[in-house]
Structure 1
Amino acid sequence: MTDDRSPEAEAPGWSWEYEGYEPADERLRESLCTLGNGYFATRGALPECAADDVHYPGTYVAGIYNRLTSKVAGRRVENEDMVNVPNWLPLRFRLPDGHWIAPDTTPVLDHRQLLHMSAGLLERRTRYDLGDDRVLTVRQLRLVHMADPHLAALRTEFTADGFSGPLEVEAALDGSVTNAGVPRYRDLDGRHLTHIHTGTAAPDTVWLRCRTRTSDTRIGIAARLTARTGAEAEAPLTIRHERPYAIQRVTVHMVPGHTVTVDKTVALHTSRDPAISDPLHAAVDRVGRAPGFDALAETHRAAWGQLWRRAELDVPGESGRILRLHLFHVLQTLSPHTADLDVGVPARGLHGEAYRGHVFWDELFVLPYLNLHFPEVSRALLRYRHRRLEQARTSAGAVGRRGAMYPWQSGSDGREETQQLHLNPRSGRWLPDHSRLQHHVGSAIAYNVWQYCEASGDTEFLHTKGAEMLLYIARFWADKAVYDESLGRHRIKGVVGPDEYHESYPDADAPGLDDNAYTNVTAAWVLTRTIELIGILPEPRRRELLERTGLDGSELERWEDVSRTLHVPLHDDVISQFAGYGDLAELDWSGYRERYGDIRRLDRILEAEGDTVNRYKASKQADVLMLGYLFAPAELEGLFRRLGVRLDEDVWRRTVDYYMHRTSHGSTLSGLVHGWVLARCRRSEAWKFCQEALQGDIADVQGGTTGEGIHLGAMAGTLDLVQRGLTGLETRGGALWLDPVPLPELSSYGFSLRYQGNWGVRLRLERGLLEIAVPSHDVSPIDVRLPGREVSLQPGETGRLVLPD
């Protein structure tokens, strides 16, 4: 086979491998072996296995949602889900009159899955024991094409040992799928597809069309099947339609030691695609024109090679291999193809159905990485938010506020998609969900706009769509802030912070907390940056913006006042997570760890005991410490100074220590943020949390959640930890600012980035030496600033800077 590449031939650190068949591990492996191209992705399930308690072969198209109403706990609950579209994978096989061969029904002698990250290929090898010294070896190569985002292909090779004769092979397109990949959602209606029809397009090609039940998105899939034995002619196919399946069957003759190859090529389109008239016609046409597997693999591999060059990352050892896996999955979810789509950042990638495929604040951890490699993708993701600005303004108006109130969970149209109830699987009870009060998502969007424009130099976006988003988000915060005469400060009340455990005060009748420090400080940042931006806009554009939004001098004066007087509570000489946090009870951490072991989801444990985490000084993840993740120490100190609060190194260290001992790390983001923050103030402990962030999905530290979809924010965040966290890299004021804090465990590494039109800027940290190489082309020099030093590097120049101890 011309595209065969053995694991031994692959460069070290570029593959991900699983040995043996372990049913309990299948869901995790399926998530981590997902293949995608930014347009759609398919989980790494075995093609001969249908969805059951072990396997879940889901396929998801970016931005395809559907809304259904279910009856839960005596209430009618509406949810919008990212749709599991028809399954293109099915390919099963058997001996005549035998049962279908699968690892759950047939003895397995060997089983191996190998993810070739450099080429974007999933390889699978299984040896089945058929009895009487007969062995069938199945080898498969799978791709979801990175050059043509509408194509996927599966090559299956069958080799007989100890027997000869016919082998029946059946391939199908399966329209019977539902959304059933998350056990705790199974009380909800998951039947999103309707009007399922199948047909034949050519002697070797079948098709399936359907549509979503309420969003009315039409989906068309076409599959071409070919089979050959060595140099012989292709084996004849038979086609059968048993709605909702389109079935192709071929019988091949097996000879000991000879390999039979069956190729399945698939095209997928939806009615959301541009430049087509009908998704079914487009799919049939595309699969008819698609070349064979070898040619597809060649162009696919070339496309991946281009991505790897743009996102070059050279980190040694096992950490480097994990980071490469993380980058692989980020690029499969958010590739250059994403730049053409109206989609956001799905928190669990296109890898599963957890969080129903919704868009949260995870772009806060994703865009800073993309900004410096794929700015066109960042821009598209921010345009997703801008298109929903009108809905955010409507949502603010519905609660009596001016400005824009972005939803905590977003889907197709930008309305609030946060569920009204959530299930505690430990107690089996459905509970009210108040996480929609996490209004700090608006500040995250504003932060991403600013970071993107600083890194890319895209002043056109900043002065138009970016300025509009910042203005309306700032307006919301200024309107929500209320003045407290007794404090002489403005306060933001009734919110939930990033911690998520605390949704209300103990025994309170209404949800929400007052003066969440993270919310207030980031709101002050939004107001300050927006005032600054309005001041530097070109006069014609400023006039247009003020006329369109009704912004006047008196409102700007209020913004200035609020940005300087938002209340930041303190207790015990540390920053309070929210007003009253210091009055909560201390938790018996050692006692709970002794009783339960893993207490990451402490909220569920306490609720099952009839208690509530709202009573305790206990956080799910970084909350106050998120400020140290977003802002460099000097900028954070300046923000607090503007608010009239002293934040020196001692106060920050005490604050870090305080919350370190009161956090359960119930989110994969928590280890990432703590590693980032500790690298600046307690370096000896930072690597432990960096490792936890690296292990989050591969070790499934959340206990089964990765099988429902990867944690995209945490994966991208680990890449950014290397790119910005440990280098202290900032893009501001038209310069690259660097303040490296190399960890003993990771002191030598390198990466490339794209900065304001400069492609392929290379940075390398090597034992106290920082090397920066600017490529040779006609672009202006790059200004580099380190503590106490400034350097201007011309195109083609390499700077080598010795770092202080």
Structure 2
Amino acid sequence: MTGWTWEYEGYDPAEARLRESLCTLGNGYFATRGALPECTADEVHYPGTYAAGCYNRLTSRVAGRRVENEDMVNLPNWLPLRFRLPGGAWLTPDTADVLEHREILHLAPGLFERMTRYDLGEGRTLTVRQERLVHMADPHMAALRTEFTAQRYAGPLEVEAALDGTVTNAGVARYRDLDGRHLTHVHSGIADAGTVWLRCRTRTSDIRIALAARLLADSPVSMRKDNGRAVHHTRLHLTPGHTVTVDKLVALHTSRDPAISDPLHAAVDRVGRVDGWAALVASHRTAWGQLWRRGELDVPGEAGTILRLHLFHVLQTLSPHTADLDVGVPARGLHGEAYRGHVFWDELFVLPYLNLHFPEVSRALLHYRYRRLERARTAARDAGRRGAMYPWQSGSDGREETQQLHLNPRSGRWMPDHTHLQHHVGSAIAYNVWQYCEASGDTEFLHTKGAEMLLQISRFWADAAEYDPHLGRHHIRGVVGPDEYHDAYPDADRPGLDDNAYTNVTAAWVLAHTIDVLRSLPEPRRRELDERTGLDAGELDHWEEVSRTLHIPFHDGVISQFEGYGDLEELDWHGYRKQYGDIRRLDRILEAEGDTVNRYQASKQADVLMLGYLFSPAELQALFGRLGHSLDEHIWRRTVDYYLHRTSHGSTLSGLVHGWVLARDRRAEAWAFCQEALQGDIADIQGGTTGEGIHLGAMAGTLDLVQRGLPGLETRNGALRLNPVPLPELSSYGFTIRYHGHWGVRLRLESGRLEIEVPASGPGPIDVRLPDRTARLQPGETGHLPLTD
């Protein structure tokens, strides 16, 4: 890697899928994996194209049961472009001798370049160089430029380009027992002006999809329809040392798009109006330049390059184009089929970054949740609860999409999946509403859709809380926390755990903040909300009581992950590491042995420690104080130590959270976890998972670590609050944020000094609060504030 490029040298089939994920190109509307255009889907390669929010539901028979799953659909493949000498086999790196191979992701302009030199025998070679883009200015366009250069060969070269509608969802091996045939009614045809087209629809969601393509070459181009494919064919004439160029231009539309009447007409019309490769590249570069300015992050060295790659993939999944769509935050981006493209709680890690750069995107993602509020209320009613119970996994319409079974690749057994009991996702949504409004100053959203979501989530928590007269406190029973390893008590006949500390503390936070929001509403709006929801003063009094009496279990002087956690057996961590090496997926190891992680004090990822990620030390102490507990530094440090030695880090989010928490007082240990978070996808730390899609929450979380974690940046009560943490490994960095109408507030921390530059065009002064003083900066003013360690 260099500062602005990501490069791979040599052809390595074992690494192909990892590279394809990390070289994905997208624009927030759709994305295409970095597969080689001459290669088809097989055990090595997996070309995939995914449009945000394009889902389909199918039923399969698995382990003797009918299982229904909704998947993000692998759309028709627009990439195919293959080539051969007349009468010869089509050339691919898997079937021909490769003398040289290179893949380069150019981050600044958003281009993917590949170069392969094939050995044609008898001293003859063919160099193939390609550049690819998924257009960031026009979200419906993509293009591929291919340059062929022969040495010691003169003669024809056959080139075939296609739109392929025969694809299926087959990118994740453990899902292959499930039906992946999502496309039907595949038709292809030929339009005027050298354009071919392909249209189809999804089998149950009935989304119509259309692609149109033009092939530009210096030789005649023919067109044909071919069994679910639309094909261009040309015959180039090569001479030694002379480069011949072929451009493939593609447009993609679906029936979910606004302002069109028919996807096929829109795609054919759009691709026919494009001036060519040069014009596309120019506007594409301009759009990317604007994104980089708004998301500016200046971090030196290797960490800075990795952070740019992470930002690149966040923006390809959630760009300003996303603001026009009804979509959520897919946990694995638009980069692959893992988790079936579902929406979990990852906006908890993604929105804090977007709030301060692209608040319009954050608002759209919160609208996705608001539009599904009624579905969440229906789920609560079906469970015998009031309020809104948001699903752990969401897709098109907001119903619970968590799988009923999951496959353990170690044992080959399908196991029941109880992670739908992670009701803490509702608290995450409420937290995201609050954080967005604090960072953006969007009181209109807070007083309308935001307040309504907060109210219904609070109503659910208050109804779920059961009063214990002996203890004088409320319990929340039958849940699963962020840990995920523990979904039941040992030998229990029902799933779920009682009084998960993270769930209860965040529920108390939601209740308390909702009360504050409702009390601050303008009187007419408050009356409207009361009338719509049937809220009365007695219900608010109940919320106030529950917010102060939710039970938080402790054992051995530390916060218990859940009631009874301290009674579980200790695991032989040394023995398991010695036997298996990598024990991140300890749950799979134990299940394959006929055991269960439910018996042990062993966590997949940060659970209790997530509280230190969400809340500053002062906020966390105040929260526990409201709940009747004293949480001093000694108790918190003991708690951190306790779980630090009992966590296997089976999630890419775990290292991020641990690094964030430890940065406050254990700086030497913090950097090791920060490094793990940075390396998670590029080194494929989870062992083969990155090839199925990047981990978007972890990538965005590393950006937020620099933006909020290390500077201690909070947007609270109308001020920028900073309490920087000096890490020796990252002692100098800067970034730009958008805050309360100010476009481009620049912050830089270096050599014990904080510099803040407020743009001259800002609407008013900015209050900056450090632990020991306060400053007010006027538009056009730059503040230089010395820091104390």
| TM-score when normalising by structure 1 | 0.98
Aligned in 2, Cα 1:43/1:730: closer, same or farther, shift over 3 Å? Answer: same
Q: Which residue of 1 aligns with 2:660?
A: 676
Q: Which residue of 682, 699, 708 corresponds with 1:715?
A: 699
Q: Which residue of 1 aligns with 2:622?
A: 638
Q: Which residue of 2 aligns with 1:618?
A: 602
Is 1:704 aligned to 2:688, yes or no? yes
**Residues in 1 aligned to 2:569 and 2:194: alpha-carbon distance in whole angstroms:** 69
Q: Which residue of 2 aligns with 1:773?
A: 757
Contact 2:193–2:272 under 8 Å retained in 1: no
SS in 1 for 2:52: strand
**Residues in 2 aligned to 1:357 and 1:601: alpha-carbon distance in whole angstroms:** 21
Aligned AA (2:35):
A
SS in 1 for 2:677: helix
Contact 1:203–1:237 under 8 Å retained in 2: no
Following superposition, the deviation at residue 486 of structure 1 comes to 1.8
Q: What is the percentage of aligned positions where both structures have the same residue?
A: 80
Q: Which residue of 2 aligns with 1:118?
A: 108
Q: Which residue of 2 aligns with 1:322?
A: 306
Q: Which residue of 2 aligns with 1:521?
A: 505
Is 1:694 aligned to 2:684, yes or no? no
1:226-375 paired onto structure 2 within 5 Å: 226-228=216-218, 235-375=219-359
**Residues in 1 aligned to 2:411 and 2:204: alpha-carbon distance in whole angstroms:** 33
SS in 1 for 2:748: strand
**Residues in 1 aligned to 2:301 and 2:515: alpha-carbon distance in whole angstroms:** 46
Q: Which residue of 1 aligns with 2:152?
A: 162
Is 1:572 aligned to 2:556, yes or no? yes
Following superposition, the deviation at residue 193 of structure 1 comes to 0.2
Is 1:69 aligned to 2:53, yes or no? no
SS in 2 for 1:51: coil
Q: Which residue of 2 aligns with 1:489?
A: 473
SS in 2 for 1:84: coil
Following superposition, the deviation at residue 778 of structure 1 comes to 4.4
Q: Which residue of 2 aligns with 1:42?
A: 32
Q: Which residue of 1 aligns with 2:770?
A: 786
SS in 2 for 1:206: strand
Which string of whole-angstrom CA distances, capped at 9 and with x for unpartnered residues, describes residues 517-554 of structure 1? 00000000000000000100000000000110001011
Q: Which residue of 2 aligns with 1:101?
A: 91
Contact 2:198–2:210 under 8 Å retained in 1: yes
Contact 2:583–2:589 under 8 Å retained in 1: yes
Is 1:421 aligned to 2:405, yes or no? yes
**Residues in 1 aligned to 2:603 and 2:188: alpha-carbon distance in whole angstroms:** 52
SS in 2 for 1:405: coil
Q: Which residue of 2 aligns with 1:3?
A: none
Aligned AA (1:627):
L
1:421-440 paired onto structure 2 within 5 Å: 421-440=405-424
SS in 2 for 1:202: coil
Which string of whole-angstrom CA distances, capped at 9 and with x for unpartnered residues, describes residues 249-273 of structure 1? 0000000000010000000000000
Q: Which residue of 209, 213, 221 corresponds with 1:223?
A: 213
**Residues in 2 aligned to 1:778 and 1:132: alpha-carbon distance in whole angstroms:** 68
Following superposition, the deviation at residue 203 of structure 1 comes to 4.5
**Residues in 2 aligned to 1:93 and 1:227: alpha-carbon distance in whole angstroms:** 14
Which string of whole-angstrom CA distances, capped at 9 and with x for unpartnered residues, describes residues 710-731 of structure 1? 0000000000000000000000
Aligned AA (1:639):
L
**Residues in 1 aligned to 2:193 and 2:325: alpha-carbon distance in whole angstroms:** 34
**Residues in 1 aligned to 2:111 and 2:642: alpha-carbon distance in whole angstroms:** 46
**Residues in 2 aligned to 1:201 and 1:736: alpha-carbon distance in whole angstroms:** 56
Which string of whole-angstrom CA distances, capped at 9 and with x for unpartnered residues, describes residues 544-582 of structure 1? 001100010110010000000000000000000000000
**Residues in 2 aligned to 1:202 and 1:93: alpha-carbon distance in whole angstroms:** 25
**Residues in 2 aligned to 1:717 and 1:517: alpha-carbon distance in whole angstroms:** 22
**Residues in 2 aligned to 1:379 and 1:386: alpha-carbon distance in whole angstroms:** 10
**Residues in 2 aligned to 1:102 and 1:778: alpha-carbon distance in whole angstroms:** 55
Q: Which residue of 2 aligns with 1:755?
A: 739
Which string of whole-angstrom CA distances, capped at 9 and with x for unpartnered residues, describes residues 240-298 of structure 1? 21120111100000000000100000000000000000000000000000121011001
Contact 2:215–2:249 under 8 Å retained in 1: yes
Is 1:186 aligned to 2:170, yes or no? no
Contact 1:515–1:579 under 8 Å retained in 2: yes
SS in 2 for 1:173: strand
Q: Which residue of 1 aligns with 2:729?
A: 745
Q: Which structure 2 residue ranges, 5 or more long, are not aligned?
A: none
**Residues in 1 aligned to 2:641 and 2:468: alpha-carbon distance in whole angstroms:** 30
Following superposition, the deviation at residue 681 of structure 1 comes to 2.2
Is 1:142 aligned to 2:132, yes or no? yes
SS in 2 for 1:460: helix
Which string of whole-angstrom CA distances, capped at 9 and with x for unpartnered residues, describes residues 340-379 of structure 1? 0000000000000000000000000000000000000000
Following superposition, the deviation at residue 485 of structure 1 comes to 1.6
Q: Which structure 1 residue ranges, 5 or more long, are not aligned?
A: 1-6, 229-234
Give the CA RMSD over aligned residues.
Answer: 0.6
**Residues in 1 aligned to 2:6 and 2:170: alpha-carbon distance in whole angstroms:** 27
**Residues in 2 aligned to 1:565 and 1:285: alpha-carbon distance in whole angstroms:** 62
SS in 1 for 2:191: strand
Following superposition, the deviation at residue 684 of structure 1 comes to 1.6
**Residues in 2 aligned to 1:684 and 1:323: alpha-carbon distance in whole angstroms:** 20
Aligned AA (2:697):
G
Following superposition, the deviation at residue 788 of structure 1 comes to 1.8
SS in 1 for 2:77: coil
**Residues in 1 aligned to 2:642 and 2:636: alpha-carbon distance in whole angstroms:** 10
**Residues in 2 aligned to 1:187 and 1:317: alpha-carbon distance in whole angstroms:** 44
Which string of whole-angstrom CA distances, capped at 9 and with x for unpartnered residues, describes residues 170-228 of structure 1? 00000000000000000000000000000001242100000000000000100000112
SS in 2 for 1:673: helix
**Residues in 2 aligned to 1:705 and 1:319: alpha-carbon distance in whole angstroms:** 22
**Residues in 1 aligned to 2:733 and 2:524: alpha-carbon distance in whole angstroms:** 46
Q: Which residue of 54, 71, 83 corresponds with 1:81?
A: 71
Following superposition, the deviation at residue 777 of structure 1 comes to 1.1
Aligned AA (1:293):
W
SS in 1 for 2:664: helix
Contact 2:742–2:762 under 8 Å retained in 1: no
**Residues in 2 aligned to 1:742 and 1:264: alpha-carbon distance in whole angstroms:** 50
Q: Which residue of 1 aligns with 2:375?
A: 391
Q: Which residue of 1 aligns with 2:81?
A: 91
Q: Which residue of 2 aligns with 1:462?
A: 446
Aligned AA (1:348):
R
**Residues in 1 aligned to 2:16 and 2:24: alpha-carbon distance in whole angstroms:** 12
Which string of whole-angstrom CA distances, capped at 9 and with x for unpartnered residues, describes residues 71-115 of structure 1? 000000000000000000000000000000000000000000000
SS in 2 for 1:680: coil
Range 753-762 or range 777-786, more displaced: 777-786
Aligned AA (2:159):
V
Is 1:27 aligned to 2:27, yes or no? no
Q: Which residue of 574, 587, 608 corresponds with 2:592?
A: 608
**Residues in 2 aligned to 1:778 and 1:249: alpha-carbon distance in whole angstroms:** 56
Aligned AA (2:753):
L
Following superposition, the deviation at residue 632 of structure 1 comes to 0.5
1:465-614 paired onto structure 2 within 5 Å: 465-614=449-598
**Residues in 2 aligned to 1:107 and 1:217: alpha-carbon distance in whole angstroms:** 42
**Residues in 2 aligned to 1:776 and 1:436: alpha-carbon distance in whole angstroms:** 49
